[in-house]
Structure 1
Amino acid sequence: MITLLIGKKGSGKTKKLIELANEAVQNSNGNVVVIEKGLKLTYDISHKARLVDSDAYGIEGLDALVGFVSGICAANYDVTDVFVDSTLKITGKGVEEVEPLTAKLKTLSESSNVNICLLISADAEELPASVREFVAK
Structure 2
Amino acid sequence: MIKLICGEKGAGKTKKILDMANDTAKTSKGTVVFLDKDDSHKLGLSYKVRLNDMSEWRVSSDNELVAFIKGMLATNYDITDIFVDGIVKISGHPVEELANFFGCLERVISDKDVSVVLTISKDSAALPDFLAKYTQI
TM-score (norm 2): 0.94
For 2:31, the equivalent position in structure 1 comes to 31
More helix by share: 1
The DSSP-based 3-state class of the residue aligned with 1:33 is: strand
Structure 1 residue runs of 5 or longer lacking an equivalent are none
**Taking structure 1 as reference, are residues 24 and 97 closer, same or farther at Cα in structure 2, changes over 3 Å only?**
farther
- Indicate whether 1:72 and 2:76 are aligned: no
CA distance in 2, matches of 1:101, 1:64: 10
CA distance in 2, matches of 1:130, 1:35: 23
- Is contact 1:98–1:127 with CA below 8 Å preserved after alignment? no
The DSSP-based 3-state class of the residue aligned with 1:133 is: coil
Q: C-alpha offsets along residues 22-60 of structure 1, whole Å, 9 cap, x if unaligned?
A: 111012100000000111111111111100100000001
Question: Aligned-pair distance for 1:125?
Answer: 2.8
CA distance in 1, matches of 2:109, 2:80: 10
- Is contact 1:124–1:132 with CA below 8 Å preserved after alignment? no
CA distance in 1, matches of 2:124, 2:136: 11
Cα RMSD over matched residues?
1.2
- Is contact 2:7–2:122 with CA below 8 Å preserved after alignment? yes
Identity of aligned residues (%): 36
- Is contact 1:31–1:50 with CA below 8 Å preserved after alignment? yes
For 2:117, the equivalent position in structure 1 comes to 117
- Is contact 1:17–1:119 with CA below 8 Å preserved after alignment? yes
CA distance in 2, matches of 1:135, 1:9: 20
Question: Aligned-pair distance for 1:80?
Answer: 0.1
Structure 2 residue runs of 5 or longer lacking an equivalent are none
- Is contact 1:91–1:97 with CA below 8 Å preserved after alignment? no
Q: Count matched residues.
A: 137
For 2:129, the equivalent position in structure 1 comes to 129
Corresponding letter in the other structure for 1:51 = L
For 1:46, the equivalent position in structure 2 comes to 46
